[in-house]
Structure 1
Amino acid sequence: MTGTIGVFTVVAILIVAAGAKDDSFEIFMRSESDLTIKFQGSEDVSRVLVAIKGETISEVYDLEKKHELKAWGYVDRNTNIKTGGTLQYQITVWEHGIAIKSNWKQVILTPGNAVEPSRSIRRVTVFRDDFNRFDHSHYKIEVDATGGGNGEFQVYTPEHRNLYTAHGYLYIKPTLTIDHPTFDGSTLYNGQMDVKSLWGTCTRSWNSGCHKSAYGQEILPPIMSGKIYTNAAIKYGRINVRARLPKGDWLWPAIWLMPRDSVYGNWPRSGEIDVMEARGNSKAMSHGVNHGITQIASTLHWGPDANHDAHRSTHKEKHSTSGDWHSWHTYSLEWTAQHILCLVDDHQILRVNTPSDGFWHSGHFSGTNIWGNNKNAPFDQPFQVLLNVAVGGLGYFSDHYQYDTPKPWQNDSPHPKKDFWEKKDVWLPTWHGDNVAMLIDYIEMIQY
């Protein structure tokens, strides 16, 4: 549980006799000094102590409970333990007020790529963040009011209220613009939003992304939210993000990847990988299918231009078998030169095998092949991970779905943000506290 990039990763995962049958213990290092301990127990566990002995360490750690999870953890940032070292450990778990102590056990800290069968693939963890704090140096924070390319209703900010860590999680939380001290109901309709003046930077200027004016009947972005990119990028490997999705009308959370360098040109020429997208509405019905928070989707975007995006052939949806997706799940990408696989809790959402004649021919595009002889282009370059919560927009929330609450705007409206905002008395009651935030427990990027 450390917010730093490790020079190396060492991991040992064991099943412990103490406590409930499936309780698990994990100990690993993310750098040469950070020892991380995790314990997953039942809801009846009230305290966890871990005693560790080794050549350079003799400590007892009182683990801290992670909010809303049956998980406990601790990070010791001042150890002298090295990879290959031998540790002994003993776990004491308090359950129903009774202390249950395990026997002393021994583990050798080995490189993380030795933990899982590699099928002759070398694996290196290039980045992991467990969000004990929000280390901004590992991310690019988007700060702009472009609307994200989909006419969305939020401005992305670096505000603490939109991006923050608490209880060992990253919170990406949309808030009302009028709750910011610079804005009120009047400025929303008649004011200016100078992004660079407000936050010292603006990351995208197109579509008036750095400076918005309320004009005519349209208003300023009525929502503030958060969006981050990892500085780390990988070409082939596995991405794991453990997250709790938000719930509330017109929320649009996403876990996705974009190319670091866009070597083939602008979107979608250089590709996009959507590991997970969802709608926060409880109900978004079409032909008997609920496309709300009971459904997640994975998509690849690729093509020579925006009008020839072949995403429909590389899109799949998955419905929850137990309620909705507003709970904790691990969203993963397994990516090789041969295939791209999107997963939730290791269950497949989408699988795309690299076409034998390449994506260009598979897409039946005309004209010059912009990807040349690279069969798996554009998915053959380093990609970064993006995490965000958007709100509204023109297209993702269909005008033809049947929702729990009537959709406040039409996708062809000349003033969709105004329409949305003026129906806040209808949708805002579905936004309940931190339920509107996407919570991230950890993000992990493994290079093959």
Structure 2
Amino acid sequence: MRVMAGAIGAIALVTPSAIAACDGQGGISEETSSWRLVWSDEFDGDTIDAERWNREVDCWGGGNDERQCYTPFDQNSRVDDGCLVIEARLGEATGPAWPAHMREGMSEEQRAETNTQPFTSARLNTRGKGDWRYGRIEVRARLPEGQGTWPAIWMLPTDEYYGPWALSGEIDILEAVNLGERCRECRGRLENRMFGTLHFGGAWPENRYMNRNTTIPTGPDNEQQFNVFAIEWTEGEIEWFLNGESYGSLTPTNWRTDSELADGNPNAPFDKEFFLILNLAIGGNLAESLTLGGVRLEGYPKQFLIDWVRVYDCPQDLETARACAS
């Protein structure tokens, strides 16, 4: 990736007040739960653990007309005082026009194509380093605010067994856009909604989705706080949790895949291994279509702070994980 000269500038350090709550607290109690911790990152070191995370590099726009380049640079993703910091910065950058998984099947000329975006940010994934089928996934994080911000915690299939997106599915643990902005239909007239979503159906553009939603608790001045976002994914059901409380679930009566490989299998496509993704997008179709519209340029950099990530399996029922469901 080539960054335009002077576009990013110096690294903006996280203030002590911003990371004071990266204390490793919260989450389920292993003493009282039947779930077993099998993979985690507490971000207690000095650098992002390359044995756990891949840093993606592209200026594609996520297929949603987003406005960021994802970079491998510390100014966009780093570990600071117990927190993973994903930071979006205002500053033009140029890089690959397509993500790595799409470039693999392209001609040399297509792989060399570039795109320029007005923001930089980061997207980390665990593909090949953390891939799971069924379990409980928890992330304690504090979300950024502002028109055009789009933080997400989500999962994609490791091998796309049933075919390209969305034949093989997508699991969104958390999405929120434009938090803190004026919103007529929102509680307190400020945007405070979050969504847990499944994408399925046919290959784009024949894809479908269904979601569950709730509101995010905020502090006394309506500022964002750290919350625990989680799913329990068992055979035939995915359930979403906020701070330990369920706010909805979906089952095979709600989803499907049009792949012929799923004939007679109602659990498809959510019965194969998926990997985890953490990212902060700026703009895009969803964020720019809601609340004030577009992207507001004030207040950058924006930070998505992750205290920890924890993944659990169900030791007494590794095949379906149903025995551990809440």
Same fold (TM over 0.5): yes
TM-score by length of structure 1 reads 0.57
Following superposition of structure 1 onto structure 2, how do residues 70-81 of structure 1 map, counting pairs within 5 Å?
Answer: 71=23
Tell me whether 1:320 sits opposite 2:234 in the alignment.
no
Following superposition of structure 1 onto structure 2, how do residues 163-242 of structure 1 map, counting pairs within 5 Å?
Answer: 163-178=77-92, 193-195=94-96, 204-205=102-103, 211-212=113-114, 220-230=116-126, 231-242=129-140
Q: Is the 8 A contact 1:278 1:293 kept in 2?
A: no
Q: Is the 8 A contact 1:298 1:349 kept in 2?
A: no
The 3-state SS of whatever aligns with 2:183 is: strand
Following superposition of structure 1 onto structure 2, how do residues 35-434 of structure 1 map, counting pairs within 5 Å?
Answer: 67-69=19-21, 71=23, 115-118=31-34, 123-133=35-45, 134-178=48-92, 193-195=94-96, 204-205=102-103, 211-212=113-114, 220-230=116-126, 231-283=129-181, 285=183, 287=185, 293-311=191-209, 314-322=210-218, 326-355=224-253, 359-360=255-256, 369-398=260-289, 401-403=290-292, 407-408=293-294, 427-431=296-300, 433=301
Q: Is the 8 A contact 2:202 2:208 kept in 1?
A: no
The 3-state SS of whatever aligns with 1:239 is: strand
The 3-state SS of whatever aligns with 1:270 is: coil
Q: Deviations over 1:360-385 (max 9, x none)?
A: 3xx8x7xx754112221100011111
1:316–1:208 CA distance, 2 compared to 1 (3 A): farther
Q: Deviations over 1:235-280 (max 9, x none)?
A: 1100010001111221100001111111101000000010100113
Q: How many residues align?
A: 285
Q: Deviations over 1:374-402 (max 9, x none)?
A: 2211000111110000000134431xx44
Q: Deviations over 1:13-66 (max 9, x none)?
A: xxxxxxxxxxxxxxxxxxxxxxxxxxxxxxxxxxxxxxxxxxxxxxxxxxxx99
The 3-state SS of whatever aligns with 1:397 is: helix
Tell me whether 1:445 sits opposite 2:314 in the alignment.
no
CA distance in 2 between partners of 1:291 and 1:224 (Å): 30
CA distance in 2 between partners of 1:307 and 1:289 (Å): 33
CA distance in 1 between partners of 2:23 and 2:265 (Å): 44
**Aligned-partner residue type, residue 114 of structure 2:** K
The 3-state SS of whatever aligns with 1:302 is: strand
**Aligned-partner residue type, residue 138 of structure 1:** R
The 3-state SS of whatever aligns with 2:205 is: helix
CA distance in 2 between partners of 1:113 and 1:240 (Å): 12
CA distance in 1 between partners of 2:54 and 2:241 (Å): 25
Q: Deviations over 1:264-297 (max 9, x none)?
A: 0100000001010011342253556789641111
How far the C-alpha of 1:209 sits from its partner, in A, is 7.5
1:246–1:132 CA distance, 2 compared to 1 (3 A): same
1:444–1:320 CA distance, 2 compared to 1 (3 A): closer
In structure 1, stretches of 5+ residues that fail to align are: 1-64, 74-111, 184-192, 214-219, 409-419, 421-426
Rg bigger for which structure? 1
Structure 1 segments of 4 or more deviating over 4 A?
A: 201-204, 206-210, 286-293, 321-325
CA distance in 2 between partners of 1:297 and 1:330 (Å): 14
How far the C-alpha of 1:325 sits from its partner, in A, is 7.3
Q: Is the 8 A contact 2:183 2:291 kept in 1?
A: yes
CA distance in 1 between partners of 2:63 and 2:55 (Å): 17
Q: Is the 8 A contact 2:23 2:82 kept in 1?
A: no
Q: Deviations over 1:320-371 (max 9, x none)?
A: 354657210001110101310011101223311333xx843xx8x7xx7541
CA distance in 1 between partners of 2:30 and 2:246 (Å): 24
In structure 2, stretches of 5+ residues that fail to align are: 1-16, 315-326
Aligned twin of 1:102: none
How far the C-alpha of 1:318 sits from its partner, in A, is 0.9
**Aligned-partner residue type, residue 154 of structure 1:** Q
Q: Is the 8 A contact 2:30 2:36 kept in 1?
A: no
The 3-state SS of whatever aligns with 1:437 is: strand
1:286–1:325 CA distance, 2 compared to 1 (3 A): same
Q: Is the 8 A contact 1:285 1:292 kept in 2?
A: yes
**Aligned-partner residue type, residue 88 of structure 2:** P
How far the C-alpha of 1:67 sits from its partner, in A, is 3.6
Aligned twin of 1:91: none
The 3-state SS of whatever aligns with 1:306 is: coil
TM-score by length of structure 2 reads 0.77
Q: Is the 8 A contact 1:163 1:172 kept in 2?
A: yes
How far the C-alpha of 1:208 sits from its partner, in A, is 6.4
CA distance in 1 between partners of 2:233 and 2:74 (Å): 33
**Aligned-partner residue type, residue 313 of structure 2:** Q
The percentage of aligned residue pairs carrying the same residue is 28
CA distance in 2 between partners of 1:289 and 1:113 (Å): 31
